[in-house]
Chain A
Amino acid sequence: MTTAMDKSAIEIRWHGRGGQGTVTAAKMLASAAIIKGKHGQAMPEFGLERSGTPVKVSTRISDQHINTRAPVVNPQIVIITDPSLMFTIKNQIVQGIDENTVFIVNTNFPADKVRKILGIPNNELWIVDASKIALEEFGRNIPNTAMLGAVAKATGIVDLDAVRQEIEEAFSASSKLRALIPQNLKALERGYNEVYKAD
């Protein structure tokens, strides 16, 4: 729960698999907020140390200093970067949600199927095929930058410029990564434009 004092805090929970950049995306989101002068926090929870292990990230963005290190229990936004998790860890994904929780899902499934699988007939649902975007833009199923674009559009909690800045900084660490900046910015753009709100 957010404390009574900190109503300005937005609590987000990401669900992904290790190796897809979920943790990086969550961190970039927190960083983008910090660049704009807010307080941000991203706490990843890793399972076992292998690629493909389900990963959960608790993210908070707030105008006030964030004290708590508790995991996000009642998320306002749930982001799913790997569609297979809807089948394998559905209970963890929907834990603590209420009718106001917004879902942003990386999938090529039609909305009604997603609603059926997760059991969310009435929640606000945004869908983007981030994996397809990633495969088309740079040939690998790392949907994180496309997801960030989708999150920026769906929630408006960070603007695209801050995320662009963040990607350029994060990817300038090595020459190999720097070469991928244009494709990732394109993926970011496409994620922003192609995410749609389901009815």
Chain B
Amino acid sequence: MAQKKVIALTGNQAAAEAMRQINFDIAAVYPISPQTELMGFFAEYVANGEVDTEMIAVDGEHSAMAACIGAAAAGARVITASAGPGIAYMVENLYVASGMRLPIVLLDVNRALSAPLSIHCDHADSMLTRDSSWISLFSENAQEAYHNIIMATKISEKALFPIIVNYDGYIVSHSIEDVEILDDETVRNFVGPSDIHRIPYPLLDIKKPVTYGATAQPDYYTECKYQQHVDFLKVYDIVREVFDEFAEIADVKYDFIEEYKTDDAEYIGISMGSSFGTLKDVVDILREQGKKVGAIKIRLFRPFPVKEVAEALSKAKGVAVLDRADSFDGIGGPLFKDISTAVMMSQNRPFIHNFIYGLGGREVKEEDFLKAFDRLERLEKGIETRDRFVEYLQVRE
């Protein structure tokens, strides 16, 4: 079992600590709030010689991802971080990275997209990566961010797909909490040494020259994508494998979703990221009042855990999907559509309603989630009606 100690860290500090322990080969860096601080902490480790990482300062996030692609193709273990509009700027290369099946770790310190300009937290930036064939994990707090980064390195290399680790900007990234960290040796043994032959075709193996980034004509493109599609479905098992291996060293059992008091719950709230902590407290408050409520956290966002969600919702009467981003498509937020798909596939069809909350860093208070559960119950019982599946939880009328 690993040596552990509990120290006070912010989300960015915890992430930098994980990066230091894993000792990436290359880190591509471009600043953007709220992630600048993270790379700043890591840069101190580089400057002090505590890691062997080569930091490449680039001219923009698009270039940051391009640098990662080049380095990963050469067989290096790479990482970069971004947020909000930075993620938007690198989206073109996200598809390139996953199409080339390169293991890359991207830290997304969730931030809202402009316009209007906001540096504060919401999940809109992560929603740009939904269809990009990147594996995606969400962290509730600094502890999970720390663990997720360590597991992500291994998951990405086993699956040969790039991976995003999300944690909330400012709410997690700049907030102190008690984090239990593992010792350096345990982490290094867990991720294993960096080996250029963990990818099938290292670019710099001059004995076996290869081409990355060729075009595919209409007669080939579909087959390339189908191979990607089939391999992406294997990610479920790989993630579960790594979660189990991690449980052996860190004594914490992770799974695709986390269920809180859902066994006999009539009404269930679903959220991702830091708001789940507040949601758990709200469930406790309502349980004290005798209400049968529960909560589900989505940890593995892509590929989406359809079966697990359907199973968890199979006995519920009503479900409130809490989205920290809006799709503006007349249907609802992005998480709502994923949950709806899961519910479509299940035997039981609970009443689902979508609440958009927390946009642009709007404070999420316990009373907001209490209101959501109350509204859900009234809708489900027919006391109130709705003309849309989606509503905003915190807007001034």
Contact = CB atoms under 8 A, between A and B. Distances in A.
Direct contact of A and B (CB under 8 A): yes
Interface of A: 1, 3-6, 23, 26-27, 30-31, 34-35, 37-46, 49, 66-71, 73, 173
Chain B interface size, under 10 / 10 to 19 / 20 to 34 / 35 or more: 20 to 34
Contact of A70 (B33, B44, B365): B365
A67 B281 CA distance: 7
Nearest to A29: B176
A43 B172 CA distance: 8
A1 B10 CA distance: 23
B364 A70 contact: yes
A69 B141 CA distance: 9
Interface string B327-367: 00000000000000000000000000000000000011110
A49 B33 contact: yes
Interface string B6-25: 11101000000000000000
B274 interface: yes
A23 B171 CA distance: 13
B13 to A, nearest CB: 10
B298 to A, nearest CB: 16
A44 B174 contact: yes
B365 A73 contact: yes
Interface string B168-179: 101110111110
B171 A69 contact: yes
Contacts of B83: none
A40 B177 contact: yes
Contacts of B177: 30, 39-42, 66
A140 B177 CA distance: 29
Q: Which of A1, A37, A38, A49 has the most CB of B within 10 A?
A: A1
14 contacts: A4-B284, A26-B176, A27-B10, A30-B8, A41-B175, A43-B171, A45-B363, A49-B33, A67-B278, A69-B278, A70-B363, A70-B364, A71-B363, A73-B365
A3 B175 contact: no
B288 interface: yes
B221 to A, nearest CB: 44
A68 B8 contact: no
A31 B8 CA distance: 5
Contacts of B280: 67-68
